[in-house]
Amino acid sequence: MSISPKDLLNKNKNLNKRVEISEICLENVTIDDLKFDGNNYNEYINLYSLLESVSSCQVSDAFNGISRRSGVIQKIKPINNQKVFGRIFTAETDSDDWGTSAMAIDAAEDGDILFFKVNNDDKAIWGELASTCARDNGIKATVIYGSARDLDALLYMDYPVFATNYCPNAGSALGLGSLNEPLDIDGFIINPGDFFIGDECGIVVIPQELFSQTMVAALGVKIKESMIIDKISQGVTLSEIVGLGKK
């Protein structure tokens, strides 16, 4: 296999480099910059510097400022309180069919986040074995509008899981679900490739067409909140900062 000058250059790129919030530049950043393609080093580094610094709360505030929507699906909560962000690979199935989970693991790409819509939560479609396989396949996390199980293992795994519920029982490996098609969750439409961020507070989904605008707004929210924290540390009260102090 031949090695090009471009290959040698990219080997010297420090993909773990991060810049200070005040120095982040999001000019020309798109959702495709969540992956390093050999040509987008600056965009990749600046985007990751932001996303590793902001919370789901700050992203939700930013999205709300743009769309008057929160991007939050309230019923889905963190199982093991880990932060993650990335693009969504969708799947839909019945609760008695955990086989679709195995199919989704095989079909998703490295860096994807699996997002399942399940018809109810009376059986789990995800657990320790699926998490282990997904993690080893390069998948970043799993989100379930339905149930997970094996919390004795999931709570200590380095693999983020979010779900609406959990239970000990599971169905069968039927593999009858659908993959990578739009999901309608209580009127909230999630498309393959949309952006996801989740942490201890919950989850936020951003339509991919509004990603760049939301990231710019999230940077503004982060900077503004940092300034407020600085003022509080200097003795200014929160009520004074927001204009509710004594006049």
Q: Note the pLDDT of residue 1.
A: 37
Residues 6+ apart with CB under 8 A from 198: 56, 78, 83, 84, 85, 141, 143, 160, 162, 204
Residue 242 domain-assigned? Answer: no
Residue 48 domain-assigned? Answer: yes
What does the CA dihedral 217, 220, 221, 225 come to, rounded to 10 degrees?
A: 180
Instruction: Mark whether 89 and 151 lie in a shared domain.
Output: yes
Instruction: Mark whether 110 and 179 lie in a shared domain.
Output: yes
Q: What is the mean pLDDT of each run of 10 residues along the chain (247 residues)?
A: 48 85 96 95 97 98 97 98 98 98 98 98 98 98 98 97 98 97 96 98 98 98 91 88 73
Distance of alpha carbon 86 from alpha carbon 72, whole angstroms: 15
Instruction: Mark whether 219 and 201 lie in a shared domain.
Output: no
Instruction: Mark whether 27 and 99 lie in a shared domain.
Output: no
Instruction: Mark whether 222 and 134 lie in a shared domain.
Output: no
Please count the structural domains in the chain.
Answer: 2
Distance of alpha carbon 133 from alpha carbon 139, whole angstroms: 9
Residue 239 domain-assigned? Answer: no
Sign of CA dihedral 75, 80, 85, 89: negative
Q: Note the pLDDT of residue 247.
A: 54
Angle at 100 between CA 99 and CA 102, to 5 degrees: 65
Instruction: Mark whether 116 and 224 lie in a shared domain.
Output: no
Instruction: Mark whether 214 and 202 lie in a shared domain.
Output: no
Residue 192 domain-assigned? Answer: yes
Residue 241 domain-assigned? Answer: no
Residue 243 domain-assigned? Answer: no
Q: For position 85, which CATH number holds?
A: 3.50.30.40
Distance of alpha carbon 37 from alpha carbon 47, whole angstroms: 14
Distance of alpha carbon 134 from alpha carbon 60, whole angstroms: 27
Residue 112 domain-assigned? Answer: yes
Q: Note the pLDDT of residue 12.
A: 62
Tokens 């924290």 sit at which residue? 229
Residue 246 domain-assigned? Answer: no
Provide the phi-psi class of 85: left if phi over 0, else alpha when psi is between -120 and 50, else beta: beta
Instruction: Mark whether 176 and 130 lie in a shared domain.
Output: yes
Instruction: Mark whether 187 and 99 lie in a shared domain.
Output: yes
Instruction: Mark whether 173 and 65 lie in a shared domain.
Output: no
What domain range is 37 assigned to?
Answer: 5-69+208-234
Instruction: Mark whether 88 and 197 lie in a shared domain.
Output: yes
Q: Note the pLDDT of residue 6.
A: 54
Instruction: Mark whether 113 and 193 lie in a shared domain.
Output: yes
